[in-house]
Structure 1
Amino acid sequence: MATIRAVDIKGGTGPVSALFINSETPKPVPTGSQALVKVKAFGLNRMDLLQREGRYPVPPQAPKTLGVEFSGTIESFGSEPERGFNVGDEVFGLAYGGAYAEYIAVSTHMLVHKPKELSWEEAAGIPETWITATQALYVVGGFVPGKSVLWHAGASSVSIAGIQLAKADNASAIYVTASSREKIEFCKSLGATEGFSYKDGDWAQELLKYTDGKGVDFIIDFVGANYFNQNLDVAARDGHIVNLGLMGGAVVKGDVDIGRFLFKRIRYEGSTLRSRDEEYQGRLRDTLVEHALPRFVDGTFKVVIDKVFKWEDIQEAHELLESSKTMGKLICTID
C-alpha cells in the first residue's frame, strides 16, 4: 500500500504537542467524482483546533486527517469526475477533511481552477472562509444592497471576507466587533464603517448610540450565548441574525426577553457548512466562482494572510491560531 506524509495526532485527539507528521499515512485513492490533488498549501481554521481536541462533530465521510481547504495540482481522477478538469490543473478547493497532507482525495464539484493572479498560499486561504461568508451573507442571510451589516470577530478570516463582500455590494454601513482598537482599524482599512471593542465597555450600547438607536439589519455571529441578548438589542426592525458558531457558549444564562423577536420582527437563524451535502456545497462553490473569483483576479478582493508556516511547524501554527491574536489567515505550505 502506498503511503504519504500527513499531519496526525498522537492518541487520536490531544493538545498542540500531540501533532506530528506521520509518514505512514495511506495514500488516498479517488473514487467516483473525486480527484487526487497533490497539496501545495492548506489553510488553518478554528474548527481544526476543536477537532484536534475531539470536540468537533466530524462528518462521517471525512478522513481523520485535519484540514478542509487547500491548493494544489490534480494528479488523477475517480471514475466520474466533473467536466472541465484535467490532470495537471492548478486548483483550490473545499473538502470534508484531509487537507493537512501531501495528497487529498476530494470531490471535483468542490474544486476551483486557480487563477495565475493568486499564489498557492492565497488560493488555499479562500475556500472555507469565503464560502462561509458568502453562505452567511447571501444564501442564509438574504443580504440586499443598501442594508447594514455587523460582523462579529471582525478580524477573523470569515469576517475579513464578509467585510469585503458587503462593501462590494454596497452595504449602507459595515460594523464589526473586535478585541482591540488595532483590529478595528485593520477592519476599517478593508471597508468597515466603524468597530466596537467588547473589552472596552458595552459594544451593543455603543453601536446603538452610533446608529441613533436604529441598530443593524444583518448580524453575522460566531459567539452564540454570550452575545444573544446584545444581538437582540442591536438588531434593527426586521433584522436577521445568522449564527455560525458558539465561541461564547451554547447556553444563554439569565432571563431573556423574547418580546424583542415579536416587536422588532427579528429572525434568528443558525447555519453550518461542513455538514452540508456535496450538492449544497457545490452550489456555494458556483456562487463563489461567479460572484467573487473575478474580483480576486482584478485585485478588488484580497486574501489577507497573517502568517505562512512550513507544515513541519504545524504545532507553532496551531498555537498562534489558539492565541486569537491573528488578523487574517494562517497558511501552511508543503515543499
Structure 2
Amino acid sequence: MKGLYYKLGENAAEAKFVIQETNVSSAQGNHQVKVQVKACALSPLDIQLDEDLKFQRDLVPVGREVAGIVLQVGPKVTFFQPDDEVVGILPMDTEMSGLCDTIIIDEHNLVQKPEKLSWVEAAGTIRDGLRAYTALHTLARMAAGHTLLVLDGASPFGVLAIQLAHHHGVKVLASALSPEDQKFLEQLRPSVARVVGIWDAKVDLVDSCLEETGGLGVDIVIDSGVRLHEEQEDQCLLPYKHDIITLLGVGGHWVTTENNLQLDPPDSHSLFLKAASLSFLNDEIWGASSAHQGRYLHILKDIMDKLSTGTFRPQLQDPVPLYEATVSMEMVQKKQVRKRLVIQL
C-alpha cells in the first residue's frame, strides 16, 4: 500500500519526504474500522516530539487528518456502519499514512462528517479546530467578556481561534505579520476588534494592547512562537517573552506553542504578581490517556457542527492531487504555505 512518509537519514539534510509502498498490517481489530480516504490535510511534522516519545521508526507516516467513507467495521464497533462518512485524526503511533487509499483506524478516533460538508473542508479544519478548542477552552478557560490576543492571527490556527472566541463573546485582538495579513484580518471585523500590524517597526505590540484594554492588559494570549532573547534578529516578528508578560492582565492566561520556553526569575516573579498562568499548547495530549476519550470526541463533533453552521470558516488552499503530495509537504514543513493544504484522493 502506497503512502507519504518522512524518511529519516543520518542527519537532517539527508531526511526527505517520499511516496512509497509499505507493508502495513491489514488485520482489523474488534473496535477498528476500515476507511476509504477521500481527503487528507497536511500539517508540519514535529520530529522532536516523535523522538521524545521514543518511536523507533525510520519512516514517519505523513498526513493524519483524514476524511472518508467507512468500508468495513469490526465486530464490536458501535459508532459506525459501512457507507458512513467520517472524519478524524490518526494517532501519533500509527504506522499508516493518511494518504493511503484505505486505512485501519480505531472508532474512537473518528466522528461523523455532516453531509453538507466537503471532504476537503472536513479534513482541513479538524486539526486547527482541535488546537483552538484546546487553547481556549481546556487551557485558558475562555469566558464571555474576556479579551484575547491571537499572535499571527492570519494563520490557519489563528483564524479558527478568532472565530471560536468571537462566537463565545470574547473581544479579540490579533497581530499581523505582513501588510497582506493585516488587510485580511481587517476584513474579519467584527470578529477582530483590533489588528496590530507588528510588521511595521513603528507599531508597538504592548502599547497597542494596553491602549485597547485601558491599561488593564489582555486576559488571554495565544502565541505562535516566542523570541527568548532580544538579540534574535532572525525572529524579529516573534514577540519577546517579556512583552507578552507585560501586556498580560491580572489573572491572565498565556498559552504558548514554544516548547523550549525559558523563564528567568524576574519573568516568573512578574507572573506571580499578576497571579497569571502559563500553559503549553500540545494538542497531541488527547491521545495520551483514555480518560479523556469522551471529551475528545465531543470536541471533534462540535468542530464539525460549527463548520457546518458557518461559525468556522477555515483558510484552505485549493486541493492538490496525490502526485503533488511530496512537493506540497516539503512546502508545509518549511512553513512556506500560509493556508491549510489538503490532498484530494
Taking structure 2 as the reference length, the TM-score comes to 0.82
2:61 counterpart SS class: coil
Q: Is the 8 A contact 1:241 1:268 kept in 2?
A: yes
Residue of structure 2 equivalent to 1:117:
116
My pick for the range that moved more, 187-196 or 107-116, is 187-196
Query: After superposition, what is the alpha-carbon deviation per residue over 1:100-151, rounded to whole angstroms, capped at 9, x for unaligned?
Result: 3222222211211111211110010122110111111112211011111111
Contact 1:16 1:318 in 2 (8 A): no
Q: Secondary structure at the match of 2:320?
A: strand
TM superposition shift of 1:66: 1.8
Distance in structure 2 (CA, Å) of the matches to 1:18 and 1:185: 35
- The separation in 2 between residues aligned to 1:301 and 1:160, in whole angstroms, is 9
Q: Distance in 2 between matches of 1:332 and 1:281?
A: 28
Judge conservation of contact 2:4–2:63 (CA < 8 Å) in 1. no
Matched-pair contact (CA < 8 Å) for 2:31–2:74:
yes
Which position in structure 2 is the counterpart of 1:18? 16
Query: Aligned partners of 1:267, 1:250: CA distance in 2, in Å?
Result: 14
CA offset digits 1:35-67 (Å, max 9, x no partner)? 221211111112x2x33x887645759983122
Counterpart of 2:284 in structure 1 is 274
Q: Give 1:160's aligned residue.
A: 159
Q: SS at the partner of 1:166?
A: helix
Q: Is 1:68 matched with 2:64?
A: yes
- Worse-matched range after superposition: 55-64 or 219-228: 55-64
Q: How far has the Cα of 1:14 moved from its partner?
A: 5.1
**Which residue of structure 1 aligns with residue 249 of structure 2?**
236
Secondary structure at 1:39's aligned position in 2? strand
Q: Is the 8 A contact 1:36 1:77 kept in 2?
A: yes
Maintained 8 Å contact 2:79/2:107: no
2:131–2:157 contact (8 Å) kept in structure 1: yes
Query: Cα gap change, 1:176/1:15 in structure 2, threshold over 3 Å: closer, same or farther?
Result: farther
Tell me the SS of whatever aligns to 1:185: helix
Q: CA deviation at 1:212?
A: 3.1
Query: 1:314 is matched with which residue?
Result: 325
Q: Hey, what does 1:223 align to over in structure 2?
A: 225
1:28/1:36 contact within 8 Å kept: no
Which residue number corresponds to residue 200 of structure 1?
Answer: 200
- What is the 5 A alignment of 1:80-159? 80-81=76-77, 83-97=78-92, 98-159=97-158
Mean alpha-carbon deviation: is it higher for 117-126 or for 191-200? Answer: 191-200
Q: Distance in 2 between matches of 1:79 and 1:304?
A: 39
Aligned pairs for 1:45-64 (under 5 A) are: 45-46=43-44, 48=45, 50-51=46-47, 57=52, 64=60
The amino acid across from 1:77 in the alignment is V
* Corresponding position of 2:32: 34
Per the TM alignment, residue 72 of structure 1 is displaced from its structure 2 partner at its CA by: 0.8
Q: Check the 8 A contact 1:61/1:96 in 2, yes or no.
A: no
Farther-moved stretch of structure 1 (231-240 vs 198-207): 198-207
Q: Deviations over 1:274-325 (max 9, x none)?
A: 1433442541221342x44333223232232023221221233124324545
Give the length in aligned residue pairs.
322
Residue identity opposite 1:68 in structure 2? R
Pair 1:219–1:322, CA change in 2 (3 A):
same
CA–CA distance in 2 between the matches of 1:17 and 1:215?
Answer: 44
Percent of paired sites with the same residue: 23
Per the normalisation by structure 1, the TM-score is 0.84
Give, in angstroms, the shift of residue 264 of structure 1.
1.6
The 1:278/1:16 distance shift into structure 2, 3 A limit, reads farther
Amino acid in the other structure paired with 1:192: V
| CA distance in structure 2 between the partners assigned to 1:144 and 1:283 by the alignment | 19
Cα distance in 2 for partners of 1:236, 1:324 equals 31
Q: Which residue of 2 aligns with 1:169?
A: 168
Q: Secondary structure at the match of 1:308?
A: coil
| Number of the residue aligned with 1:184 | 182
The runs of 5 or more residues in structure 2 that have no matched partner are 229-239
- Contact kept? 2:39, 2:343, Cα under 8 Å: yes
Q: Distance in 1 between matches of 2:331 and 2:320?
A: 11
Deviation at 1:217, TM superposition (A): 0.5
Change (3 A) 1:179 1:26: same
Name the residue aligned to 1:285: 297
Q: Name stretches of at least 5 consecutive residues in structure 1 with no aligned partner.
A: none
Q: Partner residue of 2:340?
A: 329
Match of 2:235 in 1: none
The 1:16/1:145 distance shift into structure 2, 3 A limit, reads: farther
Alignment CA distance shift 1:279-1:293 (3 Å): same
1:16 is displaced (CA, Å) by 9.6
